[in-house]
Amino acid sequence: MDAAGAEPLVRTAELRISRVRRPPGLRIEGVVDVHTHRHLRTALDVIADDEGDVQLDLSRLEFLDLGGLRMLIAFARTRVAGSHVELAGLAPHLRNVIALVGWDATPGLKLGGERVN
């Protein structure tokens, strides 16, 4: 565990994902693309059975392709009824894409604060 209480799950040249205990969830840093989808899926599986709300901190994400975004939306849809997946630190352009395709109305999805640049 690092000093911030995060447990490293994935560490590649392109992607770093850590499990965070408070608030519970994941911190996702770097690039999510076709080459790193399997790592994101593995990390999401680690927290899939966690009870209650989870937060995915995307504030240090450099790139997220449509496949990775679909994976995050699908993850929110599969959560237990009444629990939410918060996408925190979302870049404004990703927030716009989510709204444009109507995913902002996805049950179980909560859009947190935008990234401050």
CATH code of the domain in which 35 resides = 3.30.750.24
pLDDT score at 1: 52
Q: 41 in a domain, yes or no?
A: yes
Q: Which residue in 108, 92, 112 sits closest to 100, CA to CA?
A: 92
56: three-class secondary structure by DSSP: strand
Q: Where does the pLDDT of residue 3 fall: very low under 50, low under 70, confident under 90, or very high at 90 and above? A: very low
Please report which helix (H) or strand (E) contains residue 97, including its range. Answer: helix 92-100
| Per-residue pLDDT reduced to its tens digit, 21-68 | 989 999 999 999 999 999 999 999 999 988 899 999 999 999 999 999
Q: Is residue 70 included in any domain, yes or no?
A: yes
Which residues form the domain of 66?
6-111
Tell me, yes or no, whether 35 lies in a domain: yes
